[in-house]
Structure 1
Amino acid sequence: MTGDWARYWRAADRPLEAMHAHFERHVYHRHSHDAYSFGVTEDGAQTFRCRGAAHTSAAGMVMAFNPDDPHDGRAVDALGFTYRIVHIGPEVVADVLGDGAAAGLPLFPRPVLHSRVLAGALRRLHRDLLDRASALRRDESLADAVLAMGGLGAARPVRPRTAPSRRDSARIVARAREVLDSTPEADADLGTLAAAAGRSRHAVYRAFHQVYGIAPSDYQRERRLRRARRLIAEGTAPGDAAAASGFADQSHLNRWFRRYYGITPGVYARGTSDAAGSR
């Protein structure tokens, strides 16, 4: 019996797909994608042919395929390999790079790269895509991964222009905040914030870091937690407060509530009741 397994995720609104898989017997027929394909090997090793040569990707190594790069793939031995791979359409890469894409999209001359930074960025992106991270967090991880790949692995590195002035960043953040503050429960993404600010996705991302020192997703999560905390203080059950504040479920709220405040929503709710009863 084969030990092969795979989990797959696909965006509904843009060319962005991700897979986490373990293959022992599966052998990829020679093929290509109409997207960039970035993968990181987690365990074992896989071998493949690409651009006329054989390559091996072992644990911690990163694979980088340009659009229309023919390649195959199989396990090196019977133990198989586990890896994460993401397929990103060229238009998504261009959108992330913004002004930096004016010089042309990145090209990757080496199908296998050795970089802890790239491997770490890809792991974070995959986990955020395949798990239930917010739309903002997925966009931020995507930007981090694309920028890391374009800056460290490409033959023609491309980077966005330098950060905007603090005054410009303040204007960008103010417009984006209107969206996040008015509907903290809505699953807004960087595209929504960029449209409100009239700037690129990455400009919004950089502006939040420059003004607040945190990512837009952190700002959104904090607003959601404040709303949930207020609702619980008013007597709303934690599960209902989680749904009304934009959390996936009560366990999701519990996890972040404790990380931010050191207690669970239940403890906070009981504390409010005790305080009311002591008057």
Structure 2
Amino acid sequence: MAAIGSPGEEITAWRPRMQGVTEVFHAHFMRHAYPMHVHDTWTLLIVDEGAVRYDLERHERGTPLGTVSLLPPQVPHNGSAATPHGFRKRVLYLEAGTDLLDDSFIGPAVDTPDLADPLLRHRIGQLHSALAQPGDELEAAARLALVGERLRERLRPHLAENHGPRPDRRVAAALRELLDARLVEGIDLTEAASLVHAHPTHLVRSFGAAYGIAPHQYLMARRVDRARRLLLDGRPPGEVATACGFYDQPHLTRHFKRIVGAPPGRYARGA
């Protein structure tokens, strides 16, 4: 992860450990103006402070607070602050030509790049939070699948996922078996979808409908249960984190405290 910037400006960028997202970019700009340029990826942008104005296909566009902007690959655009105090933004650069957003969505995105959609914006914020936490790649992949589903619904309403197959327990049970079998090493959502022969979004929705919990929440809950037993056996938290599949001890602590109500060390001492 890299963090740079001029006085009063901030930039943070990193490449997450998951398929589909090539870069995460957070920035606070006061004066910077982007010249006309292109990306070979989709640019998914939300603005947290101020507003951005930009030109896309010779049309002036803008991102007032609360709007989601999706700029297609290989389409020139620029960008600058639309307010005197600059803007603060979060951007995801998404791989082009994938099931998430294939080339058929480029035309609709050029026509309507700015989407006023509170649910989509909320899901993108959740995705940014998950991408910022090493070890939460399954959660990030699940949230990316839901973001992609919502984008497709908005760009091409007749292709909405809720018109497709209904969630089914067979798919959910197969995923639960995979999660139980890969409790420590974990499993990538793309690999799981391939093994179960289901689209990632259908996999996530089926699991939630069947068990009332998201796949990543199920996996973390199982890992925390395993961690509780090892802690009561007297093993130190750092060793327990590795043995249970957590990225590191802070990763264990964050999920353990959220589920149990106390950090691992205090839990072990209380026992």
- Out of 134, 137, 140, which is 1:135 matched to? 137
Aligned partner of 1:50 in structure 2 is: 56
Kindly report structure 1 stretches of 4+ aligned residues shifted beyond 6 Å.
none
- Out of 12, 29, 43, which is 2:35 matched to? 29
Give the distance between the partners of 1:57 and 1:33, measured in 2 at CA. 19
Q: Secondary structure at the match of 1:177?
A: helix
Q: Secondary structure at the match of 1:33?
A: coil
Q: What amino acid is the match of 2:29?
A: F
Give the distance between the partners of 1:119 and 1:218, measured in 2 at CA. 21
Give the distance between the partners of 2:59 and 2:133, measured in 1 at CA. 35
Aligned partner of 1:81 in structure 2 is: 87
Summarize the Cα distance change of 1:63–1:3 in structure 2 as closer, same or farther, 3 Å threshold.
same
Summarize the Cα distance change of 1:201–1:252 in structure 2 as closer, same or farther, 3 Å threshold.
same
Give the distance between the partners of 1:252 and 1:13, measured in 2 at CA. 17
Q: Which moved more, 1:13-22 or 1:113-122?
A: 13-22
- State whether residues 151 and 159 of structure 1, in contact with CA within 8 Å, keep that contact through their aligned partners in structure 2: yes
Give the distance between the partners of 2:117 and 2:200, measured in 1 at CA. 26
Give the distance between the partners of 2:248 and 2:83, measured in 1 at CA. 42
Summarize the Cα distance change of 1:262–1:13 in structure 2 as closer, same or farther, 3 Å threshold.
closer
Aligned partner of 1:186 in structure 2 is: 185
Instruction: Kindly provide the CA deviation profile for residues 103-155 of structure 1, in whole angstroms up to 9, marking residues without a partner as x.
Output: 95472222222221222122122222233351211111101211122213x15
Q: Which moved more, 1:216-225 or 1:234-243?
A: 234-243
Give the distance between the partners of 1:14 and 1:256, measured in 2 at CA. 23
Q: What amino acid is the match of 1:159?
A: A
- State whether residues 20 and 85 of structure 1, in contact with CA within 8 Å, keep that contact through their aligned partners in structure 2: yes
C-alpha displacement of 1:216: 0.8
Q: Secondary structure at the match of 1:196?
A: helix
Give the distance between the partners of 1:205 and 1:264, measured in 2 at CA. 29
Q: Secondary structure at the match of 1:90?
A: coil
- State whether residues 224 and 246 of structure 1, in contact with CA within 8 Å, keep that contact through their aligned partners in structure 2: yes
Summarize the Cα distance change of 1:8–1:215 in structure 2 as closer, same or farther, 3 Å threshold.
same
Q: What amino acid is the match of 1:171?
A: R
Instruction: Kindly provide the CA deviation profile for residues 222-277 of structure 1, in whole angstroms up to 9, marking residues without a partner as x.
Output: 111111111112121122111211223323322322222223322321233xxxxx
What 5-or-longer segments of structure 2 have no aligned partner?
1-5
Give the distance between the partners of 1:15 and 1:207, measured in 2 at CA. 21
- State whether residues 2 and 24 of structure 1, in contact with CA within 8 Å, keep that contact through their aligned partners in structure 2: no
Structure 1 residue 233 corresponds to structure 2 residue 235: no
Q: Secondary structure at the match of 1:228?
A: helix
Aligned partner of 1:69 in structure 2 is: 75
Give the distance between the partners of 2:158 and 2:96, measured in 1 at CA. 15
Aligned partner of 2:3 in structure 1 is: none
Aligned partner of 2:150 in structure 1 is: 148
- State whether residues 179 and 186 of structure 2, in contact with CA within 8 Å, keep that contact through their aligned partners in structure 1: no
- How many residue pairs end up in the alignment? 262
Q: Which moved more, 1:225-234 or 1:185-194?
A: 185-194
Give the distance between the partners of 1:82 and 1:187, measured in 2 at CA. 34
C-alpha RMSD over aligned residues? 2.4
State the percentage of identical aligned residues: 31
- State whether residues 10 and 29 of structure 2, in contact with CA within 8 Å, keep that contact through their aligned partners in structure 1: yes
Q: Which moved more, 1:21-30 or 1:194-203?
A: 194-203
Q: Secondary structure at the match of 1:91?
A: coil
Q: What amino acid is the match of 1:114?
A: A
Aligned partner of 1:244 in structure 2 is: 243
Summarize the Cα distance change of 1:164–1:119 in structure 2 as closer, same or farther, 3 Å threshold.
closer
What 5-or-longer segments of structure 1 have no aligned partner?
273-279
Aligned partner of 1:5 in structure 2 is: 10
C-alpha displacement of 1:65: 1.2
Larger radius of gyration: 1
